[in-house]
Amino acid sequence: MTQLDISLTVNGARHELSVGPTEMLTEVLRRRLDMTGTNRDCGMGICGACTVLLDGQPVSSCILLAALADGSEITTVEGLERDGRLTAVQEAFLRHGAVQCGYCTPGFVITSTALLEENPSPSREEIVEALKGNLCRCTGYKKIVEAVEAVARAKGDGVGVS
Ligand code: FES
Ligand code: FES
């Protein structure tokens, strides 16, 4: 099968890769770049476990052909921390008990981070709307929403998000 040469910048590091025409971004991240923080569950763009930022926007990497991401900047959950420290969103998830089995968590953290970058003071309704593409079997969502609200509140009080 024909291979395609692409270039991806993942968490600030540039990678030149040869990918198959049907190879999805999730597989490239997990298998080729060893970034297993991006999970794969449904593989159909429904659950959000595979969410990454593509040029700053959250996308389901399981349904994005790697070839179509050529030239893009990708941020995975591994790329959020700064100087070895968790971000405010990650800390809030832990503090508010928004993590149980954790399988969905990287996707929620990525989507929440993108939301707060775009809208530092989202209402509860806006948070729920932004997170509607991320599914969680364990938490009942309440604690996840509370964690995002807490970061938004802290930001409003002058405490940084990341
Ligand atoms: S694994 Fe990608 S949306 Fe479910
Ligand atoms: S914490 Fe288990 S699926 Fe969300």
Task: Tell me, yes or no, whether 61 lies in a domain.
Answer: yes
Tell me, what CATH number does 25's domain have? 3.10.20.30
Residues 52 and 116 in one domain: no
Q: Is the pLDDT of residue 161 over 70?
A: no
Q: What does the block give as tokens for 155?
A: 């930001």
Q: What is the pLDDT of residue 156?
A: 74
Q: Does residue 52 have its Cβ closer than 6 Å to ligand 1?
A: no
Q: Where are the alpha helices (DSSP H) in the chain?
A: 25-27, 88-95, 105-118, 124-130, 142-156
Give the residue from 25, 57, 78 where a domain finishes: 78
Task: Tell me, yes or no, whether 161 lies in a domain.
Answer: no
Residues 58 and 96 in one domain: no
Q: Is the pLDDT of residue 160 over 60?
A: no
Q: What is the pLDDT of residue 149?
A: 98
pLDDT tens-digit map of 116-136: 999 999 999 999 999 999 999
Task: Tell me, yes or no, whether 26 lies in a domain.
Answer: yes
Q: Does residue 64 have its Cβ closer than 6 Å to ligand 1?
A: no
Task: Tell me, yes or no, whether 83 lies in a domain.
Answer: no
Give the residue from 78, 111, 141 where a domain finishes: 78
Q: Which domain holds residue 99?
A: 88-156
Residues 98 and 138 in one domain: yes
Q: What is the pLDDT of residue 120?
A: 96
Task: Tell me, yes or no, whether 162 lies in a domain.
Answer: no
Q: What does the block give as tokens for 139?
A: 């938490």
Q: What is the pTM of this model?
A: 0.94
Q: What does the block give as tokens for 157?
A: 């009080």
Residues 57 and 36 in one domain: yes
Residues 66 and 92 in one domain: no
Domains: count for the chain? 2
Q: How far apart are CA 91 and CA 87, in angstroms?
A: 6
Q: What is the pLDDT of residue 82?
A: 85
Task: Tell me, yes or no, whether 40 lies in a domain.
Answer: yes
Ligand closest to 93 (CA) is 2
Tell me, what CATH number does 93's domain have? 1.10.150.120
Q: What is the pLDDT of residue 159?
A: 57
pLDDT tens-digit map of 8-46: 999 999 999 999 999 999 999 999 999 999 999 999 999
CA-closest residue to ligand 1 atom 3: 45
Under a CB-based contact definition with an 8 Å cutoff, are residues 51 and 106 in contact? yes
Give, for ligand 1, the residue of 27, 42, 54, 111 to mutate: max count of ligand atoms closer than 8 Å to Cβ.
Answer: 42
Q: What is the pLDDT of residue 158?
A: 60
Q: 105: closest CA among 74, 80, 73?
A: 80
pLDDT tens-digit map of 65-112: 999 999 999 999 999 998 899 999 999 999 999 999 999 999 999 999
Question: If you ran DSSP here, which 8-state letter would residue 82 be given?
Answer: B
Residues 72 and 102 in one domain: no
What is the distance in A from the centroid of ligand 2 to the CA of 25? 22
Q: What is the pLDDT of residue 36?
A: 97
Residues 59 and 122 in one domain: no
Question: If you ran DSSP here, which 8-state letter would residue 19 be given?
Answer: E
Under a CB-based contact definition with an 8 Å cutoff, are residues 18 and 5 in contact? yes
Under a CB-based contact definition with an 8 Å cutoff, are residues 76 and 33 in contact? no
Q: How far apart are CA 94 and CA 83, in angstroms?
A: 19
